[in-house]
Amino acid sequence: MTEPDAIPDPAGTAATAGTAAEIRRAAMNLLARREHSLGELRQKLRPRFDDEAMLEAQLQKLAGEKLQSDDRYAESFARLRALRGYGPARVRQEMRTKSISDTVIARALAAAVPDWSVLAQEVFCKKFGAPAPVDLKEKARRARFMQYRGFSSDHYQHLLDN
């Protein structure tokens, strides 16, 4: 007869001590699906493995072997978000929530889009079309939309004035 608290966990979500090989395998499985930042990997693996020092050592080893790269992740993330019409401020904030350092973010944003003003114009025209706003209320609505998308007023102000 089995004890009620000894129920097997088929999903493997319970925290275990784990060996270095198990931690590495779990991290590699995550990285095989898509790029992850070091912070994301740490966040996803911490609940599964109790040994914080071994987890950190394995993550650093993966980064040292270039199997995990915050630079590569940030460039990919910035390019993807720019293609979806988001500006640098929004992309920067989203990357900060994923534990990417400011220097890595700056390099990724510089490499992602050659001209943020051109992207802002494309987003603006796609959303609002060619005609200029007719009144102050409509102009403010359009400016709020562009700010929400992460563009600074330098990127879109000329679009509101025309």
In 3D space, the residue among 8, 44, 13 whose CA is nearest the CA of residue 28 turns out to be 44
pLDDT in tens, 102-121: 999 999 998 877 789 999 99
pTM of the model: 0.77
CATH architecture of the domain with range 116-161: Orthogonal Bundle (1.10)
Query: Residue 1: what residue type?
Result: M
pLDDT at 162 (0 to 100): 67
CATH architecture of the domain with range 70-112: Orthogonal Bundle (1.10)
Asked whether the beta carbons of 156 and 146 are under 8 A apart, the reply is: yes
Q: Do domains 70-112 and 116-161 have the same CATH topology?
A: yes
Mean pLDDT (whole number) for 139-150: 94
